[in-house]
């Protein structure tokens, strides 16, 4: 690991100023992804600005939303009574992520900012446009079992690893940030980027901006929800496919629906057309199967991940059935 300068900030403005003063500076909180990248020589900041002392850990009601501070730990959010009561889907997704030890260190903001990546990103002997723009994508013709079936480009086919972010996408969350130009709010759907021709840029954050909180709006999705994560092993594994499913059911009819997937794209993948189809339909396996077929429109597999074209719709159906308590 390279040598670097270390600064500790106690207020958001001071943290932003410290990062802005030196171009190659980064914020650090739990460090569960950043330190790993630094050890491998993939990320080489000249200065780290420790933000753990910033007053950004609260979880509180703000109007018609639940505001979760960027420094709230994943484990604390998953166990919070307000989260469990008003957004159980988020709690389920958090508990599906990583290991208990990592959830006790990882922050909400850090979870959102972890790099979209694959084994070729970590292997510095292989080409990777995300790690080093212009070198190529080793996964395109390589071993691409874990990779994307939606929203990819010829520059990158890696998938976003966060479980929490899939739930936040489904729940229409928004991200509050502060930076050199002041404060702004970013809809969660616009926070992460698809690779396009710049896969090295994961988010729409501007230079020097700091995440301060996430707002999750009130919704009727408090009862019929389920987060399904399909993975190679039960602990500490990224999703092959994951589904965040939330339904508002009245008299066996679907009044509202939210669906998002993980493990299938460079960012959490919202299934908007399937959501529209579900509204007004009866609760049944046939309804859910048709919604899954709609969700899969435009999906394309590579040599080693064609199984996802079957796994993904089956997972959508299973998640919806579990949310609707049909199983």
Question: CA dihedral defined by 190, 191, 192, 198, rounded to 10 degrees?
Answer: 80
Q: What is the pLDDT of residue 23?
A: 84
Cα–Cα distances in Å, from 232 out to 145, 235, 236, 238, 311? 11, 9, 10, 8, 13
Please report which residue ranges of 198-284 form alpha helices under DSSP H: 272-278
Q: What DSSP string describes 185-202?
A: EEEHHHHB---TT-TT--
Give CA–CA dist 92/225, Å, rounded.
9
DSSP structure class, residue 153: B
DSSP structure class, residue 236: S
Q: Supply 133's token pair.
A: 């723009």
Backbone angles phi, psi at 50, to 5 degrees: -75, 120
Task: Please write the tens of the pLDDT for every residue from 149-184.
Answer: 999 999 999 999 999 999 999 999 999 999 999 999
Q: What is the pLDDT of residue 82?
A: 98
Give CA–CA dist 90/84, Å, rounded.
8
298 and 315 in contact (C-beta within 8 Å)?
Answer: no
| Number of residues that this document lists for the chain | 327
CB atoms within 10 A of CB 237: 13
Q: Which CATH class is domain 224-323?
A: alpha beta
Q: What is the pLDDT of residue 72?
A: 98
CATH code of the region 5-53: 3.30.43.10
Q: What is the pLDDT of residue 1?
A: 66
21 Cβ contact partners less than 8 Å away, ≥ 6 residues apart: none
Query: Residue 223: enclosing H or E segment and its boundaries?
Result: none
Please report which residue ranges of 105-229 form alpha helices under DSSP H: 108-113, 119-122, 164-170, 188-191
Q: What is the pLDDT of residue 221?
A: 98
pTM greater than 0.85 (yes/no) = yes
Among 286, 255, 291, CA closest to 271: 291
Task: Please write the tens of the pLDDT for every residue from 300-317.
Answer: 999 999 999 999 999 999
Q: What is the pLDDT of residue 318?
A: 98
CA 208, 194, 38: angle at the middle one, nearest 5?
50
CA dihedral sign of residues 123, 124, 127, 131: positive
Low-confidence ranges of the chain (pLDDT < 50): none
CATH 3.30.390.50-classified regions of the chain: 224-323
CATH 3.30.43.10-classified regions of the chain: 5-53
Query: Residue 96: enclosing H or E segment and its boundaries?
Result: helix 88-96
């Amino acid at each position: 690991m390279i040598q670097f300068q270390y600064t500790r900030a106690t207020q958001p403005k001071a943290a932003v100023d410290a990062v802005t003063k030196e171009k190659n500076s980064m914020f650090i909180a739990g460090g569960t992804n950043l330190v790993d990248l630094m050890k491998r020589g993939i990320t080489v900041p000249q200065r780290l600005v420790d933000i753990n002392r910033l007053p950004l850990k609260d979880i509180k009601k703000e109007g018609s939303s639940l505001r979760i501070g960027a420094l709230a730990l994943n484990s604390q959010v998953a166990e919070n009574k307000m989260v469990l009561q008003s957004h159980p889907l988020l709690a389920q997704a958090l508990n599906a992520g990583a290991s208990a030890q990592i959830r006790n260190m990882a922050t909400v903001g850090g979870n959102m900012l972890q790099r979209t990546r694959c084994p070729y990103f970590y292997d510095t002997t292989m080409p990777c446009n995300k790690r080093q723009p212009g070198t190529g994508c080793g996964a395109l013709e390589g071993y691409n079992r874990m990779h994307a079936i939606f929203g990819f480009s010829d520059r990158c086919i890696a998938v976003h690893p966060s479980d929490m972010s899939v739930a936040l996408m489904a729940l229409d969350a928004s991200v509050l940030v502060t930076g050199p130009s002041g404060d702004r709010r970013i809809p969660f759907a616009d926070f992460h980027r698809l690779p396009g021709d710049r896969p090295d840029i994961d988010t729409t954050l501007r230079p020097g901006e700091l995440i301060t909180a996430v707002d999750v709006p009130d919704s009727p999705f408090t009862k019929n929800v389920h987060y399904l994560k399909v993975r190679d092993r039960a602990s500490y594994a990224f999703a092959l496919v994951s589904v965040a499913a939330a339904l508002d059911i009245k008299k066996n009819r679907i009044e509202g629906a939210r669906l998002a997937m993980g493990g299938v794209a460079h960012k959490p993948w919202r299934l908007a057309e399937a959501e529209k189809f579900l509204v007004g339909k009866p609760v049944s396996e046939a309804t859910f199967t048709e919604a899954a077929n709609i969700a899969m429109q435009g999906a394309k597999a590579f040599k080693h991940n064609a199984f996802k074209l079957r796994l993904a719709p089956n997972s959508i159906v299973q998640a919806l059935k579990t949310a609707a308590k049909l199983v």
